[in-house]
Structure 1
Amino acid sequence: MKFAYSLLLRLPDSTILNLIRRFNWVKLLQFSLVSSRARQLVASLNRKTNQFNVYIENDEINISVSCNKCSIGFEFYKDKSVNDDLSIRRELLPPRIVYAKINNNSYKLHREGFELKDWVDHLLFIFNTSKVNECYLATNKYDFHSLSKTFDEIETFHLDLPEGISDEDALNAFKTSHTLCIDRSVNEEEKFHKILMRNYTCLNFMERTTLTLNDLLTINTSYTSFFDVSFTEKVLNRFLKHWIKGSNPQLVGMFFNCILEREFEMNQLLKGIDNKVTGLAANEETPNGNFVIKRFNGTRATLKITLFPNAASILMIVPAGVQKYHF
């Protein structure tokens, strides 16, 4: 097959493009690996990807690409077992075989001398994208710094290492993502101070965390979400008062999903804070409301509050920041 593709490359570009437009994805992938010219021709078909995601878990590294109505999975290191000794980080050796999964069928791809980084760059190029949309890290069996050099442009980084394994090395290796999602419980808050001060666009804590008011005041992220916290009305009230006086200057939005063992008291949240009510729900059993508060310099923020039995969701939005960051 490689010989046939080599013969095809003797033709003019326009003729080749007319021919490969009829290729299925298996043939396009095979052809793209023949030479740099073949790669360029496949990319010029403009088959753009909707999502380019990376999954690093267990013994494998997988890439999932969504392109129009087609979804393609690429499996690396499928035939190799990682050493169970967690003190030994596995190097990213050149993949001998890459498995492409298309429509529940698996096809073998090979390119002599290709490192994992070469494969990633090749796939990004032919799918006309420059970055990984989402990267999920759920194992520490690979060297983190090698991974970060291989996947060096990440939009959203998800960290979900097994319990008992420190996140610190991974967070120090993957510093360049725009959004960081912590997908597990945070129990070593003191190690997160430097993370909170980083200039992410978004920072999401997906599981239980027990961060303190001082931690909240160090956040330098534009938009932060806490999906399972137990902040009391008093703590949140103090945070709002600090923001009014000038803390968290980068804040665009912050979301709290507070899980409590009692009813949430909205009057305690807003105690001592000048505010303007902009809308209340008619249902008195769930007195949802929008409240506008004002910072010392005149900047306004809207609090959108929804109450549930033993819980409350609070969304704080700074409209000027939303316009700036196009949220």
Structure 2
Amino acid sequence: MRDGDPPLRLLCLPNTSLQCIVQCMQYIDQFALSLVSQRCKDLVKSIDLKCLDVYVLVHSEITIRVRITDSSWIKCLLDDDQATAAKVLTLRDGKGFAHSKPEYEVEHCLRHILEIYHQSEINTIRLLTPLRDVQSFRNTFTSCSTIVFGARSESEAVELASTFCPLKKLEFGVGRIAEHNENDENFPKIFIQNLEEIAVHLMCELNLDDLLLANSRIFRIYCQRISNFPKMLNRFIKHWLAGSNPRTRYFEFHCAGEGYLFLDMNEVFKGIKHEIVSKMDPTARQAFRAFGAAYVKFHGGYNIRKKDGTVATLSFPRYSHFEMLVWS
């Protein structure tokens, strides 16, 4: 079009022509068009847009990122969960626009994104500050693969974990000032979930019963207290040899508050057959490498073996730090 030409009345065109035009638009222009009206939104939905995943970060501001291709993203920024305006950017060049609407909340923005990209699942949610209405936010999507959150108490951790019910990974921490309730039967149930990974970056206390409940493929715990760490390890290893935790392939737990600078290996392996494995052992090195997790590295250690031939390598890379990989 040239200067002075009348504007193109886009919505007056036949539907097939409209769809062809919208399909040729840049991603951010398609998104902007979808915000104009319900008719425009339906038009954008009709061209069957797809995205690879949706990522949500709730912190000092709320960020919703839509990965359309490996190199193309759209990012929506909201000041908080009751914001009346959103800033929309493309991550490639940083250009974008601001969208303002009365009573525009994060649920509206997220629901709009999921509708136009025909998504029902969110890939990752990082909930680092509390939301005004967690249940309302949860109702905007069907499922999420990964949830990461910080909880102020064990009971809040249970509530958030049960609300979001991730499909693959649960990652959380409980505040340092939180108190451990030994009579609470709900908190340990978090560990029963059949997930790819459970990672707890901080919790009050870890005991043997918690470990024996682990059912995820990867189980990682960073805690403040472990009562009699060497004895608990000994009992845990014996339970594993007897058949506990059949699905879990990697265990890691690290105690921040105990003073076990040097674990007594005689106490850890009391009554347990084991063999020392050098950190240069090719079989063990290959097993750790094949596991495919960047944080799983072989430091040398000890092999134990079940009666059915299953082998696990135990490693103690630092004080009060235990790793165990089941690899055969």
Q: Deviations over 1:160-205 (max 9, x none)?
A: 1357983343233222442111133464353412212233332111
**d(CA) in 2 for partners of 1:64, 1:305:** 38
Select the residue among 1, 5, 11 that pairs with 1:6.
11
Q: Which blocks of at least 5 consecutive residues in structure 2 are unaligned?
A: 1-6, 282-297
Counterpart of 2:304 (choices 293, 305, 315) is: 293
Q: Does 1:244 align with 2:238?
A: no
Counterpart mapping for 1:83-162 below 5 A = 96-102=84-90, 103-109=93-99, 119-124=109-114, 126-127=116-117, 130-162=120-152
Following the alignment from structure 1 to structure 2, what is the Cα–Cα distance between the partners of residues 164 and 172? 12
- Whole-angstrom distance in 2 between the partners of 1:145 and 1:157: 14
Match in the other structure for 1:36: 42
Q: Quote the residue 1:275 is aligned against.
A: 274
Structure 1 stretches of at least 4 aligned residues deviating more than 6 Å after TM superposition: 110-115
Cα distance in 2 for partners of 1:218, 1:42 equals: 43
Instruction: Answer yes or no: is 1:218 the counterpart of 2:208.
Output: no
Query: What is the CA–CA distance in structure 1 between the aligned matches of 2:179 and 2:26, rounded to whole Å?
Result: 49
- How is 1:60-75 mapped onto 2 (pairs within 5 angstroms)? 61-67=62-68, 68-75=70-77
Are the aligned partners of 2:123 and 2:144 in contact in 1 as well (CA < 8 Å)?
yes
Which residue of 2 is the match for residue 200 of structure 1? 195
Which AA in structure 1 matches 2:300?
A: G
TM-superposed CA distance for 1:14, in Å, is: 7.3
Contact 2:82 2:104 in 1 (8 A): no
Other-structure match for 2:315: 305
Structure 2 partner of 1:85: none
Deviation at 1:6, TM superposition (A): 1.9
Aligned length: 290
CA distance in 1, matches of 2:9, 2:268: 71
Question: How many Å separate the matches in 1 of 2:189 and 2:58?
Answer: 24
Q: Write out per-residue CA displacement over residues 292-321 of structure 1, whole angstroms, 9 at most, x where no aligned residue.
A: 32335x15142241433x3434133254xx
Query: When the two structures are superposed, what TM-score results if normalisation uses the length of structure 1?
Result: 0.72
1:63 positional shift: 0.9
Q: 1:166 to 1:130 in 2, by over 3 A?
A: closer
Give the aligned partner of residue 322 of structure 1: none
Amino acid at match of 2:45: R
| Other-structure match for 2:294 | none
Query: What amino acid is the match of 2:21?
Result: I
Give me the whole-angstrom Cα distance separating, in 2, the residues matched to 1:182 and 1:291: 30
What secondary structure sits across from 1:167 in the alignment? Answer: helix
From the superposition, tell whether residues 135 and 193 of structure 1 become closer, same or farther in structure 2 (CA, over 3 Å): same
User: What value does the CA root-mean-square deviation take over the aligned residues?
Assistant: 3.7
Cα separation, 2, equivalents of 1:268 and 1:79: 52
Q: Which moved more, 1:104-113 or 1:33-42?
A: 104-113
Read off the aligned partner of 1:194 and give its amino acid letter. K
Contact 1:26 1:107 in 2 (8 A): no
Aligned residue identity for 2:270: K
Which residue is equivalent to 1:88?
none
Question: Residues 299 and 13 from structure 1, CA distance in 2 versus in 1: closer, same or farther, beyond 3 angstroms?
Answer: farther
CA distance in 1, matches of 2:172, 2:235: 25
Aligned-pair CA distance for 1:149: 1.6
Contact 1:290–1:302 at 8 Å: present in 2 too? no
Cα distance, 1:237 vs structure 2: 1.4
Which secondary structure does the structure 2 equivalent of 1:54 belong to?
Answer: strand
What does the per-residue CA deviation read over 1:7-31, in whole Å, with 9 as the maximum and x for residues that have no partner? 45644377436xx43x333312123
Whether contact under 8 Å (2:151, 2:172) holds in the other structure is: no
Amino acid at match of 1:274: K
Distance 2:99 2:14 in 1: 19
Say which is worse superposed, 108-117 or 132-141, in terms of deviation.
108-117
Q: Secondary structure at the match of 1:220?
A: coil
C-alpha distance 42-214 of structure 1, shift in aligned 2 (>3 A): closer
Counterpart CA distance in 1 for 2:166 and 2:8 is 42
CA distance in 1, matches of 2:12, 2:322: 63
Q: Does structure 1 retain, via aligned residues, the 8 Å contact 2:55–2:65?
A: yes
Q: Secondary structure at the match of 1:30?
A: helix
Shift of 1:242: 1.0
Report the CA distance between 1:152 and its aligned residue: 2.9
Distance in 2 of aligned mates of 1:118 and 1:9: 30
TM-score, scaled to structure 2 = 0.72
Cα displacement string for residues 206-238 of structure 1 (whole angstroms, at most 9, x for unaligned residues) = 125411112212223332101355542221111
Distance 1:263 1:128, change over 3 A: farther
